[in-house]
Amino acid sequence: MHRLRLPLSGGCQCGKQRYRITALPLTLYACHCRECQRQSTSAFGLSMPVPREALQCDMETLASWHRTGASGRQVAARFCPECGSRLFHEPARNPSIVNVKPGSLDDTSWVEPVGHLWLKSAQPWFRPPENCLTYPEQQPSFEALFEARFREASSRSSV
Ligand SMILES: [Zn+2]
Ligand SMILES: [Zn+2]
């Protein structure tokens, strides 16, 4: 098990868009809803919320697309105009955070979801690992996901 080191750095697939993150992520979870499956064109999406002020990148040079979620609220999706890699989601419900897509990090060795959301639409072969939070649909609140990430981070830093 690897520990993360700040600042985190990452970028898009073609390498034109780069970013840095100067604070610990608030949590990291997998979402198995149909929207995340479609967005990632894969089995599930990974989300890593970070405080907005901790994200350093050139938002101006990213392309964007807006989606209205099931709740009726807007999510701004930011991606590289060159290669199309999705890098960030900005939920209108919480402007103080940005959801980073952690597959874009340079070092993904420590990336491990503390929770799995929307398991009722997960691929039938998927089994969540033991000792992580699981939800059939949306999580009722972010508190448990934040706490689980914090516990994991502190257990690793004491190694
Ligand atoms: Zn790119
Ligand atoms: Zn989802």
Q: Could you state, in chain order, the average pLDDT of each consecutive group of 10 residues for the chain (159 residues)?
A: 85 98 96 95 97 96 90 90 97 93 96 96 96 92 88 66
Q: Which bound ligand lies closest to the C-alpha atom of 118? A: 2
Specify the CATH superfamily of domain 8-157.
glutathione-dependent formaldehyde- activating enzyme (gfa) (3.90.1590.10)
Q: Rounded to the nearest 5°, which phi and psi values hold at 68? A: -95, 120
Q: Which ligand is nearest to the CA of 120?
A: 2
Tell me, in angstroms, the distance from the centre of ligand 2 to residue 6's CA. 27
**Torsion angles phi and psi, residue 131, rounded to 5:** 65, 25
158 C-alpha to center of ligand 2: Å? 32
**pLDDT tens digits, residue range 23-65?**
999 999 999 999 999 999 999 999 999 999 999 999 999 999 9
Give me ligand 1 centre to Cα 86, in Å: 9
In 22-142, where does DSSP find H-type helix? 34-40
Number of Cβ atoms within 10 Å of the Cβ of 144: 15
> What is the distance in A from the centroid of ligand 2 to the CA of 50?
17
- Reduced to 3 states, what is the DSSP secondary structure of residue 47? strand
How would you list the strands of the sheet with 115-117, edge to edge?
63-68, 74-79, 86-91, 97-100, 45-51, 29-31, 115-117, 133-134
CA of 125 to the centre of ligand 2 (A): 18
The residue whose two tokens read 């939920």 is 91
- Look-up: residue for tokens 């890593």? 48
In the chain, domain spans? 8-157
Residue 46 alpha carbon to ligand 1 centre in Å: 19
Ligand nearest the Cα atom of residue 61? 1
**pTM as predicted:** 0.92
User: To 5 degrees, how large is the angle CA 6–CA 12–CA 14?
Assistant: 130
Pairing of strands 115-117, 29-31: parallel
Enter the tokens of residue 12. Answer: 């898009």
Residue 42 CA to ligand 1 centre (angstroms): 19
